[in-house]
Chains A and B, each alone.
Chain A
Amino acid sequence: MRACRDERARVRGAQRGSVSDLEALFRMHWPRAFRAAYLVTHDAAAAEDIAQESFLAAIRALDRFDRGRPFGPWLHRIAVNRAIDWTRARALRGEVELLDTVSAPPQPGSDDDTLAALARLSPEHRAVIVMRYLLEFTPGEIADALDLPRGTVNSRLRRGLDALGDEL
Chain B
Amino acid sequence: MKHDLERIEIPGESEARGRSWIVLEVAFGEREPVERRRKMLRPVIAVAVAAALLAAILSPPGRAVLDGLRETVGIERAQPALFSLPAPGRLLVASDAGVWIVQEDGAKRLLGRYREASWSPFGRFVVAAGANELAALEPDGDVRWTLARPGVRSPRWTGTETDTRIAYVDRTGLRVVAGDGTGDRLVVAGYRGPFAWRPGKGFVLAHSDRPGRVSLYDVAAGKVIERSAGGRVDAGEPATIRRRGQGSEVVVGRRVVFRSAGQLDRPTASPDGRWLLVPWPAADQWVFVRTNGTGLRAAANVAEQFRSRSFPRVEAWCCGS
Contact = CB atoms under 8 A, between A and B. Distances in A.
Interface stretch (A1-9, A51-59, A147-155): A51-59
Interface string A87-123: 0111011010010110000000001001100000000
A80 interface: no
Interface string B9-30: 1111100110111011101110
Contacts of A51: 16, 20
B9 A111 contact: yes
A26 interface: yes
A59 B31 contact: yes
B36 interface: yes
Given A31-B17, A114-B5, A46 B28 contact: no
Interface string B277-321: 000000000000000000000000000000001100000000000
Nearest to A112: B8
B171 interface: yes
Query: At the interface, is chain A mostly helix, strand, loop or mixed?
Result: helix
A47 interface: yes
A63 interface: yes
Contacts of B19: 48, 52
Contacts of A88: 309
A89 B308 CA distance: 9
A45 B2 contact: no
Given A39-B5, A44-B16, A114-B4, A15 B36 contact: yes
Contact of A93 (B4, B34, B113, B211): B113
Contacts of A52: 19-20, 23-24
Contacts of A142: none
A161 B2 CA distance: 12
Given A34-B16, A35-B5, A59-B24, A95 B310 contact: no
A59 B27 contact: yes
A34 to B, nearest CB: 6
B97 interface: yes
A130 B153 CA distance: 27
Contacts of B171: 45
B78 interface: no
A62 B27 CA distance: 12
